[in-house]
Amino acid sequence: MKYAGLLVMPAGFFLTIAALVLFPDAARRTAFVVCGFAVVCVGLVVAVRGHIPARGAHRP
Amino acid sequence: MTAIPIPAPEMNSAETALALALLLLAPLAIAGIALINTGLGRSRSAAQALLGNLALAAIAMIVFALVGASFVGGWPGGWELAIHTGGTAWNLLHAGPLLLGGLAAAAPRAQLAVLFQFLSVAFVAIIPWGSGADRLRLAAGCTVAALLAAIVFPLAAHWVWGGGCLAALGANFSLGAGFIDAGGAGAVHLLGGVCALAVVWISGPRRGKFPKEGLSTAMPGHNASYVLFGCMVALVGWLAWNIAGALLWLPAPLAALPITAINTLLSASGALVATFVVTRLRFGKPDASLCANGWLAGLVASSACAAIVSPGASLFIGAVAGVFTPLLVELFELALSVDDPSGAVTVHGAAGLWGLLAAGMFAPQPGQFVAQLVGIAALLGLMLPLVYLLFSILNRVVPFRVDPDGERIGMDLHELGGGAYPEFVIHRDESYR
């Protein structure tokens, strides 16, 4: 899961870039940039949850 | 590969002298963070922690001078590496002369910008060091600092300050003034917080921090006085940092600088009061280390927006940072089992992110919020996976974590051969179960 989250994060960034390049009008561009940012956040949450260590563990 | 002319706005002599004076005060912010990192660790690792802050800053600045600065650019000479999509050039990296070649002949503004970046790279290097306290080896910390100064920070700094793709969002896509980050909330603090998270993940929690049963073990910092004094020292440096950043990167007129300082003070003050109230309500008494974290979070949030928002907005931004800081520190420790002794992931990462968002929310230019979102997506969505990958590879070569015996006797004895407080009686650690 942790690697899945870390792979999703760049995908979110590239979504924001795609929005800038593909949509000239402000409304759709903003909506897709917000979606891309949300994907980055989802990836971060998945990565953080994937890194929760087992109780009692002290080494990765 | 495309050659793109670098704009070189000039500064008058008064602005140049003021910027230089401010940049000579800015290292106090680094000194404050070093004190805080040391105070929030254990007494048996105090000397190693403070020496580490010095060593990491020194190595980061040397590597940045040798290699990193040439990737940032900002003075004549070299090439811009750009890709083109839909008629737009995405300026990704500069390839300039190594060893600061040609900088001495550059305009004062360009030289001051490089000095600002030198301080910034030292700052970025010590942020993850605090998160790895009590188990991150000095050798590993030094290699992390070198890696950050050679590759990671130059990328971010070029995008944000070196005329790179994020700075050009305004010119290329009419998104406000492009990505705004005058005081380094993104290129320094968000990046530092991201690196801190990667270090914490890779080095793992301290022994006994998360026992098999019950709540996580409290491992309070060994010296609250260091922590709180560090906050006061950091304030002086932060004021200088934010004003110098506004002069260099916006660029703000001299008349706008007092408001930048006032906004920095208001943001930090609002954050401290908010954290004070939140910890008083949650725990019955205000918590000193969390209040220090709140103060720092207010300063970090102000780094993005102190030069462009009103005093009222600055107070609000600081107050919000002060509310979420203790809650997020608690969430990371209790729910997500992230062992971050200095709270850098929250204080630098989350507060930096909030400051950048707030700059977009309160900036007068249309499209600024979208520019800030794109910038955050780049610094978070690209940098965290990149840093995690680089650190994971580095961990195979130079193990991050000290061996169990070193962790038991303390980093001072294990790595330096002597403690920070040789005349103190060291008590048995009750956290080992």
> Is the CB of residue B208 less than 8 Å away from at least one CB of chain A?
yes
Q: Is residue B130 scored above 90 in pLDDT? A: yes
* pLDDT for position B316: 98
Q: How far is A51 from chain B (nearest CA, A)?
A: 7
- Find the closest chain A residue to B366 by CA distance: A26
Q: Is residue A56 scored above 80 in pLDDT? A: no
Using alpha carbons, list the distances in angstroms from residue B345 to A46, B191, B240, B295: 16, 10, 24, 15
B136-160 tens-digit pLDDT: 999 999 999 999 999 999 999 999 9
Q: Is residue B6 scored above 90 in pLDDT? A: no
Q: Is residue B385 scored above 80 in pLDDT? A: yes
- Going B108 to B114 to B118 to B121, the CA torsion angle's sign is positive
Q: What is the average pLDDT across B276-299?
A: 97
Q: What is the average pLDDT across B130-137?
A: 95
Q: What is the CA radius of gyration of chain A?
A: 15
Between residues B355 and B1, the one the model is more confident about: B355
Q: Is residue B133 scored above 50 in pLDDT? A: yes
* pLDDT for position B425: 63
Between residues B75 and B278, the one the model is more confident about: B278
In which band, very low, low, confident or very high, does the pLDDT at B4 lie, cut at 50, 70 and 90?
very low
Q: Is residue B1 scored above 90 in pLDDT? A: no
* pLDDT for position B79: 86
- In chain A, which residues have their Cβ closer than 8 Å to the Cβ of B175? 20
B71-112 tens-digit pLDDT: 998 888 888 888 888 788 888 899 888 888 889 989 999 999
Q: What is the average pLDDT across B206-210?
A: 90
- Find the closest chain B residue to A31 by CA distance: B370
CB contact under 8 A, A16 and B382: no
Share the mean pLDDT of chain B. Answer: 92
Considering CB atoms only, which of B86, B336, B382 is closest to A10? B382
DSSP assigned state of B346: I
> Is the CB of residue B392 less than 8 Å away from at least one CB of chain A?
no
In which band, very low, low, confident or very high, does the pLDDT at B431 lie, cut at 50, 70 and 90?
low
B47-81 tens-digit pLDDT: 999 999 999 999 999 999 999 999 998 888 888 88
Distance, CA of B400 to CA of B137 (rounded, Å): 6
CB contact under 8 A, A9 and B385: yes
Is residue B116 within a helix (H) or strand (E), and if so which, with residue range? helix B108-131
Q: How many residues does chain B have?
A: 433
In which band, very low, low, confident or very high, does the pLDDT at A54 lie, cut at 50, 70 and 90?
low
Between residues B12 and B150, the one the model is more confident about: B150
- In chain A, which residues have their Cβ closer than 8 Å to the Cβ of B210? 53, 55-58
Between residues B394 and B95, the one the model is more confident about: B394
Residues of A with CB under 8 A from a CB of B: 2, 6-7, 9-13, 16-17, 20-22, 26, 29-30, 33-34, 36-37, 40, 43-44, 47-49, 51-53, 55-60
* pLDDT for position B428: 60
Kindly give, in sequence order, each residue whose CB lies less than 8 Å from that of residue B45, ignoring residues fewer than 6 positions away: B133, B134, B410, B411, B412
CB contact under 8 A, B336 and A29: no
* pLDDT for position B3: 38
Distance, CA of B59 to CA of B262 (rounded, Å): 34
Q: How far is B338 from chain A (nearest CA, A)?
A: 7
Percent of chain B with pLDDT over 90: 80
* pLDDT for position B203: 95
Task: Say what the ipTM of the complex is.
Answer: 0.93
Cβ of B1: how many Cβ atoms within 10 Å? 9
- In chain A, which residues have their Cβ closer than 8 Å to the Cβ of B173? 20, 29
* pLDDT for position B159: 95
